[in-house]
Structure 1
Amino acid sequence: MTALHTFLFTPFLGTSAWLWLVFITIVIALLVLDLGVLHRQDREIEMRESLLLYSGYFSVGVLFGVWVWYELGAQPALEFYTGFLVEQSLSMDNVFVMAMIFSFFAIPRRYQHRVLFWGILGVVVLRAIMIGVGAALVQHFAWVLYIFGAFLLFTGVKMALSKDDAHPDLANNPVLRFVRRHMRVTDQLHGRHFFVHLTPPGTDRAIRYATPLFLALVLIELADLVFAVDSVPAIFAITQDPFIVYTSNIFAILGLRSLYFALAALMHRFVYLKYALALVLIFIGCKIFWHGLVGKVPAGISLGVTFGLLLGGVLLSLLRTRNQQQPAEQQPVQDEPLPAVDKPPTTPSDSNPEKKGPHLRV
């Protein structure tokens, strides 16, 4: 019992191990409930269900912040809520990118949740690595925070002055081209599977092929990695506590992924959100230099300013675009009947030109 007690209260990255275990247990329980209970069958998620899922994840995040307040105090809790809000806001642009990826690969809506769910597991690992590296840098080199601050200022000003971004050229994405060169990839979906075994004509040996569902997952993970370059420095500008940084990030991402199906149909209306986000990044960047020159900005003020800027951007956007229709290129991919699995699939993209026209192994 003494050994267990010692382990539970041993600091890990500045926080007792038992607090980390509570967080990990909550996240695992949410993921099991999501995929193992609520979405055991692949189906299209409507806006109402998307909003209900988000409200559930959001409520868990808010309650976790209350628990942080009880265990660690008001300051860490306010920092958690600020990071939670900033991460959700900065990740909203990622929703538009995900919608484009699903449209590019023509992924039916009933399979999109599966891709997003498995994408979360990648996010949990990638964010842990990035935050761990960031925490080590900040701990050993305090001046790194000023680099983060300058980067956030630059990003915020660039975002505010930039015109609407052109659509990414997914077909020529270097990561996608790399995967296609080094893996056998089918041109056709095979239900909910990321990989299938196909038998090329004239052979009896089945070969493993990736499907477009897997390619969509790869690009979504890549998009999250790109967006994390902004969000991770932003949260470190709010707090340097790895526990607060990581937990606020993960709870925000869990909620946003569940909200995807509602946001994908509304993103075209958030025309002023970009400017609100730019102001948030500028504010957070300035806060770092203010802390070094004058003193620390109270967590309550940081939370209030961040919330006010984002709320103002959302309300102004919805007011100015209340009669605007969704652009055709942003329409969600609708489910279409899938071909029978006993029919030969279309010719795959194969790095070996001699292996064409495989058939499903019976």
Structure 2
Amino acid sequence: MESIANPWLWATFFSVVIIMLAIDLFWVGGGKQHKVSVKEAAIWSGIWVSVSMLFAAGLWLYLNTTVGEQVATAKTLEYVTGYLIEKSLAIDNVFVWLMIFSVFAIPADLQKRVLVLGVIGAIVMRTIMIFAGAWLITQFHWLLYVFGAFLLFTGIKMWLAAEQQPDLANSKIVLWLRRRYNITEHLEGEKFFVKRLVNGRWVRYATPLFLVLVLVEFSDLIFAVDSIPAIFAITTDPFIVLTSNIFAILGLRSMYFLLADMADRFSLLKYGLALVLVFIGFKMMLIDLMKIPTALSLCVVATIIATSVILSLRKNRKEAEGSAE
């Protein structure tokens, strides 16, 4: 697998990730049951984005002094484009989390622990999938066409299902868990498992919070399957793919709490995300026929997302004006 990274770059990246995760786990909210305010979420969302962009600046400076400005600019642009794509697609994951917490009536002060574990699980899963995907592409170039067709199909499917609400409480994975585990009727604080005395013996019970954690991790896996192929349309360098992916999901927990009260304002965003997947799918399928510049891809993705957000806000304003009349 060809990459611009060396052991020093890998060590720097993993050091930054570990430090930021430690801060998020043990400092923000003290690692305890904690309701994250919108102000706190906004501040930390800004911090996560700033760290991601500082990493991009550091990457450019390092590559500029070691391999030259042209390579430095190309690789940094790939990183930023990949970051924007992954961050945009992660928003849909956030909306799914909102539905999961809503369906199972999980209070805000109990959501933090689930989301922290969800992000950690996503990092592990994506790291494995990215290295496996990068290796497969180096061995079987035709897989790029398969990924492209998959993204095209996923984008069309997302567009058609944009208004549908999945029945999470009766999903196959929840029904399977209910058959396999004894489930308590009520939450037990932040506990995922509890023991109860039944007929003279202790029986282990899973709590509804455990069901929620499994659904969050499962949603992370599903979205990773959708989003990771998308960035391979931008670059096959495992360092750029991994760094842009991980930095995009590191701030997901803060972004969740920031968007929790505003999800209804972005009703058209799913259509924008669907168009992004369709565009990336076409780009990947045309990779050997026509090379779409990374800068153009960045502009197209940014334009689609910005347009869907603006149209969503305009739609909400018109609906509010209509109801006021």
CA shift, 1:323, in A, is 6.0
Which 5+ residue runs of structure 1 have no aligned equivalent?
1-10, 326-362
- Structure 2 partner of 1:169: 167
CA shift, 1:142, in A, is 0.7
The match for 1:32 among 1, 13, 22 is 22
* AA at the equivalent of 1:304: C
Taking a change above 3 Å as real, the CA distance of residues 13 and 176 of structure 1, as seen in their structure-2 partners, is farther
Aligned partner of residue 197 in structure 1, secondary structure: strand
Aligned partner of residue 91 in structure 1, secondary structure: helix
Q: CA RMSD in A?
A: 2.0
CA shift, 1:14, in A, is 6.4
Taking a change above 3 Å as real, the CA distance of residues 24 and 148 of structure 1, as seen in their structure-2 partners, is same
CA–CA separation in structure 2 for the residues paired with 1:212 and 1:26:
34
CA shift, 1:122, in A, is 0.7
CA contact (8 A) 2:78 2:294 kept: yes
Say if 2:126 is the partner of 1:131. Answer: no
The match for 1:57 among 28, 45, 48 is 48
* AA at the equivalent of 1:257: R
- Structure 2 partner of 1:185: 183
Which runs of structure 2 are paired with 1:104-143 in the superposition (5 Å)? 104-143=103-142
Taking a change above 3 Å as real, the CA distance of residues 39 and 236 of structure 1, as seen in their structure-2 partners, is same
Which runs of structure 2 are paired with 1:290-309 in the superposition (5 Å)? 290-294=286-290, 296-309=291-304
CA shift, 1:254, in A, is 1.5
CA shift, 1:165, in A, is 3.7
CA shift, 1:13, in A, is 6.7
- Structure 2 partner of 1:149: 148
- Structure 2 partner of 1:259: 255
- Structure 2 partner of 1:336: none
Say if 2:304 is the partner of 1:313. Answer: no
CA contact (8 A) 1:269 1:324 kept: no
CA contact (8 A) 1:46 1:261 kept: yes
CA shift, 1:249, in A, is 1.0
Count of paired positions: 311
CA–CA separation in structure 1 for the residues paired with 2:108 and 2:188:
14
CA contact (8 A) 2:156 2:274 kept: yes
Q: Deviations over 1:63-117 (max 9, x none)?
A: 1111222233111111111111111111212222111111222211001011100
- Structure 1 partner of 2:68: none
CA shift, 1:156, in A, is 2.5
CA–CA separation in structure 1 for the residues paired with 2:174 and 2:269:
29
- Structure 2 partner of 1:69: 60
CA contact (8 A) 1:156 1:281 kept: yes
CA–CA separation in structure 1 for the residues paired with 2:218 and 2:109:
22
CA–CA separation in structure 2 for the residues paired with 1:256 and 1:292:
34
CA shift, 1:208, in A, is 3.0
CA–CA separation in structure 2 for the residues paired with 1:227 and 1:168:
15
CA–CA separation in structure 2 for the residues paired with 1:157 and 1:191:
40
Per mean C-alpha deviation after superposition, the further-off stretch among 117-126 and 266-275 is 266-275
CA contact (8 A) 1:89 1:277 kept: yes
CA–CA separation in structure 2 for the residues paired with 1:110 and 1:323:
34
CA shift, 1:44, in A, is 1.3
Aligned partner of residue 22 in structure 1, secondary structure: helix
Higher radius of gyration, 1 or 2: 1
CA–CA separation in structure 1 for the residues paired with 2:197 and 2:223:
39
Per the normalisation by structure 1, the TM-score is 0.81
CA–CA separation in structure 2 for the residues paired with 1:83 and 1:163:
25
CA–CA separation in structure 2 for the residues paired with 1:60 and 1:279:
28
CA contact (8 A) 1:86 1:306 kept: yes
CA contact (8 A) 2:104 2:169 kept: no
* AA at the equivalent of 1:92: I
Per mean C-alpha deviation after superposition, the further-off stretch among 80-89 and 41-50 is 41-50
CA contact (8 A) 2:162 2:270 kept: no
* AA at the equivalent of 1:195: F
* AA at the equivalent of 2:130: I
* AA at the equivalent of 1:173: S
CA–CA separation in structure 2 for the residues paired with 1:46 and 1:234:
33
* AA at the equivalent of 2:273: L
More helix by share: 2
CA–CA separation in structure 1 for the residues paired with 2:52 and 2:110:
26
Q: Deviations over 1:272-318 (max 9, x none)?
A: 22222222222222222443113x32222221221122111111211
- Structure 1 partner of 2:97: 98
Aligned partner of residue 183 in structure 2, secondary structure: coil
Instruction: Quote the sequence identity (%).
Output: 49
Per mean C-alpha deviation after superposition, the further-off stretch among 277-286 and 117-126 is 277-286
